[in-house]
Amino acid sequence: MKYLIPLSLAFVSGVVADRIITVTNACPFVIWPAFFTSSGGQPEQAPGWEAQPNTDLTFSTPENWNGRVWGRRNCDFSTNPGPNSCLDGGCNGGLVCNITTGTGVPPATLATFDFSGESQDIYTVSVVDGYNLPMVITNNCACPFASCPVDLATSCPLDLAGPFDADGVPVGCRSACLVDALAGHAANSSNCCTGSFDSESACPSSGVEHYSYFKTNCPNSFVYAFDESSGTAIWQCEKSCMSEAEVEYGVTFCPEAAGVSNL
């Protein structure tokens, strides 16, 4: 017994990852969560799964992981396993997103994480490419919550609404940038901050159509390319906030249904 303890500790410290992410489906319907790794190495968890209502799944990431987590709606992978298997959020690969190309089809609310910084984790709930599910990012470190906790599909401005399910119910709300991109105008757009608008001074939020609709409903979300100036778009958590335990993040879909309130 005397030697078992240091042996097991040595083993654990060799494989343990620095961040834990628990993805909870608090929606009253099935969703298909997914993640995509931008850099820092692949988690062991397959990047796509089915989540029944009121279930969660926990996975760990490499300590310098940079990636995104989102949810997919109204999926059927049986006939068409690919980006169009879902009404929104679908990815190359089908149920399990392709690790090189499976970034997800917008509109989709994104939880973005960057653990690669020296002293702080950075995270956002982004609706830059539109919205498809309410979301909050929680943590066990008393750091701020990022969120877009309310349903934007049903209140979405008419020119942004959709896609729609078979009953005509909206399951997403596109951003004005996404609408420009779908119309082939992504390269020079005041909504996307591209082309002649590719700087903070050339792309004020006042020039982004429907900015205030998103920011008023979801003040703690990342709404457009230069939204950092709002002070409530990009969130940070000191890596030192828990010196002993791991920092654990929660990504909860439909947080109001779960009684998770925003800070």
In a 3-state reduction of DSSP, which class is residue 176?
Answer: helix
Among the listed residues 101, 154, 155, 212, the single contact to ligand NAG using CB under 6 A: 101
Smallest distance from the beta carbon of 116 to ligand NAG, in angstroms? 24
User: Which of these segments, 20-28, 97-105, 170-178, 200-208, binds ligand NAG (CB under 6 A)?
Assistant: 97-105
Under the binding rule (CB under 6 A), the answer on residue 84 touching ligand NAG is: no
Residues 64, 143, 102: CA angle, nearest 5 degrees: 40
**Cα distance from N-terminal residue to C-terminal residue, the chain:** 46
Among the listed residues 22, 98, 120, 205, the single contact to ligand NAG using CB under 6 A: 98
Q: Which is nearer to ligand NAG, 67 or 170 (CB)?
A: 67
Question: What whole-number distance in Å separates Cα of residue 213 and Cα of residue 218?
Answer: 8
Under the binding rule (CB under 6 A), the answer on residue 230 touching ligand NAG is: no
Question: What whole-number distance in Å separates Cα of residue 63 and Cα of residue 94?
Answer: 27
How many CB atoms are closer than 10 A to CB 55? Answer: 13
Under the binding rule (CB under 6 A), the answer on residue 188 touching ligand NAG is: yes
> In this structure, what token pair is assigned to residue 235?
């969130």
Q: Which is nearer to ligand NAG, 191 or 217 (CB)?
A: 191
Under the binding rule (CB under 6 A), the answer on residue 42 touching ligand NAG is: no
Contact 117, 235 (CB under 8 A): no
Q: Which residues bind ligand NAG (CB under 6 A)?
A: 93, 98, 100-101, 188, 195-196
